[in-house]
Amino acid sequence: MTQAPPPPAGGDTSASPELQIKGSLRLPPGLKLNLPFYFFRHFFQPGNPILLFEYLQKFGRAAHYRLLWNHIVLLNDPSDIREVLIDKAQFFIKERTQKRMKILLGEGLITSDGEIHKRHRRIAAPTFHRQRIQGYAETIVAQAAAMRDRWQPDVEIDIAAEMMHLALGITARTLFNTEVTAEIEAINDESNAVMEIYNALISLPRAEALLRWRVPIPALRRFRKSKRRLDSVVDGMIAARQREMADSDARGEEPGTDLLSMLIAARDEEAVAEGRPGLTSAELRDEVMTLFLAGYETVANALSWTWLLLGQNPEAEARLHQELNQVLGDRLPTIEDLPNLKYTEMVLAESMRLYPPAWAMGRQATQEIDIGPYRLPKGCFVFFSQYIVQRSEKYFPSPRHFHPERFTPEAKADRPRFAYFPFGGGGRQCIGESFAWMEATLVLATLAQRWQLNLSQNQRLELQPKITLRPKFGIHVIPEYR
Ligand code: HEM
């Protein structure tokens, strides 16, 4: 599918191959000229940073380039990534693109830093504890089972669209305890609209200020309108749930078990003395939007790519079917089956290696800092890409091959921690990881138990690396009864 562009004819004279010593700094080798020059010369497309990152791999452990006045470093080595995410995490904040998501997500877990992030994480963490989320297994299986009953043999479907729809339904139920109602559709449509504009917006310098100053540009006006509508729908749902909870509290009943009810009820014991133990309505809104957007598209993409890979790899598919026959027979999966669905989980792990839904992450250094053999300047942006590192020959021989056996416990123990990091790591590791594994495993098991999905002949495959890694033209399959 995507391929690194060939080096410019006549050798790449625009690259500095050696470590670059500049004053106290030791920068990795990299591109000599400012990045826009390469866009201008059509070496890379601005819309597909994976091509750039693939090209930069030729510099080895890390690569340096400049975008206008900013220093940017791409790290490819798991030990350097570990330093940024764990050992020296206190010297980094979220990089600018993620921070700019504040215009959509406010001060939610993804966008906030420092004390605000710590407090919100403390409050939200118990909600996502493995034990608390187990109750969602039945909902997940019921929704997947309803979908598998709707499919018809030999009638082509776009499995990427189906997985989005399914994951949206599961999010509606587990986050808000509702069907995909008009309100949920509104949240989905408006956030998609906002995202479309947002993708264009974040490339504008000072996008936040342009929005704040109410500059009368049509796209900005549309963004503000969608955002207002989003806020009012989400605020309405939170207020309704708060009222319901107050009523059931007065009747001495337990609060609901959906994520929203749990977040409303969550308390930060460390802040009781300060008189602000829970999340305010505005904070709840930001977290709800964050969970809504972080939670469903990622899982849907993980599942979509898995169907593609299973369609391309009949041996792995046969082994998966064999496990489902042995463990489940004809009955639907339950939470108790998860420890026995080992191969199903390995299939998903290998799929997220090749097509990680979160395909890159970034941070910004708050001071001059040593990472591996390098000394990076204050303000330097540091990126690392799951898509790139997880396709490294060093840790995954024949990296393009789909081989779930790479995820046996023994094989995993042989690799450094950050050779594989689809859920990030350190203090900001994905809070929904257990939820995502549970959801993806149960959905895959429920659907593959009934159907084999054969890839349609006229498939057009292209990566679309937006905030998540999507298949640009969907994935078209023809269901066949097993
Ligand atoms: C396959 C599915 C998923 C993948 C691949 C994924 C990936 C990630 C990654 C890589 C991060 C770290 C970002 C960074 O440090 O810059 C992250 C953070 C986060 N994820 Fe997920 N995620 C998934 C599912 C979910 C689900 C189901 C939820 C919630 C229901 C969720 C909620 C979050 C939140 C709130 C954060 C921010 C955590 C923090 O900074 O404290 N994610 N996710």
**Which region among 38-47, 140-149, 186-195 has the lowest average model confidence (pLDDT)?**
38-47
Confidence of residue 16 (pLDDT cuts 50, 70, 90): low
User: Under a CB-based contact definition with an 8 Å cutoff, are residues 446 and 141 in contact?
Assistant: yes
pLDDT exceeds cutoff 60 at 10: no
Distance from residue 353's CA to the centre of ligand 1 (Å)? 16
Read off the pLDDT of each residue in 75-97 and give the average, rounded to a whole number: 94
Task: Give the pLDDT of residue 206.
Answer: 65
User: Residues near 413 by Cβ (< 8 Å), separated by ≥ 6?
Assistant: none
Distance from residue 124's CA to the centre of ligand 1 (Å)? 13
Give the tens place of pLDDT for each residue, 320-379.
Answer: 999 999 999 999 999 999 999 999 999 999 999 999 999 999 999 999 999 999 999 999
Ligand 1 pocket: which residues have CB below 6 Å?
109-110, 121, 290-291, 294-295, 298-299, 302, 357-358, 361, 422-424, 428, 430-432, 435-436
Ligand 1 atom 31: residue of nearest CA: 432
Residue 439 alpha carbon, nearest atom of ligand 1? 27
Residue 171 alpha carbon, nearest atom of ligand 1? 30
What integer best gives the mean pLDDT of the chain? 88
- pLDDT more than 70, % of the chain: 89
CA diameter of the chain: 79
Give the tens place of pLDDT for each residue, 205-241.
Answer: 666 676 667 777 777 787 788 888 888 888 888 888 8
Give the tens place of pLDDT for each residue, 22-59.
Answer: 889 999 999 988 888 777 666 666 667 898 899 999 99
Give the tens place of pLDDT for each residue, 437-450.
Answer: 999 999 999 999 99
Domain boundaries, the chain: 69-481
Task: Give the pLDDT of residue 204.
Answer: 60
Task: Give the pLDDT of residue 216.
Answer: 73
Task: Give the pLDDT of residue 220.
Answer: 75
Task: Give the pLDDT of residue 207.
Answer: 64
Find the Cα–Cα–Cα–Cα dihedral 306, 311, 315, 316, rounded to 10°.
Answer: 10
**Position 222, amino acid:** R
Q: How far apart are alpha carbons 13 and 323 in whole angstroms?
A: 54
Residue 363 alpha carbon, nearest atom of ligand 1? 16
Read off the pLDDT of each residue in 238-255 and give the average, rounded to a whole number: 86
Among 361, 389, 430, 466, the mutation site with the greatest number of ligand 1 atoms within 8 A of its Cβ is 430
Give the tens place of pLDDT for each residue, 64-85.
Answer: 999 888 999 999 999 999 999 9
Read off the pLDDT of each residue in 59-63 and give the average, rounded to a whole number: 95
Ligand 1 atom 17: residue of nearest CA: 430
CB neighbours of residue 123 within 10 Å: 22
**Position 443, amino acid:** V
Task: Give the pLDDT of residue 3.
Answer: 44
Find out if CATH 3.30.420.40 is the number for domain 69-481. Answer: no
Identify which of 409, 437, 452 has the alpha carbon closest to the alpha carbon of residue 338: 437
Give the tens place of pLDDT for each residue, 374-403.
Answer: 999 999 999 999 999 999 999 999 999 999
Confidence of residue 8 (pLDDT cuts 50, 70, 90): very low
Can you read off the two tokens belonging to residue 60?
Answer: 């080895």
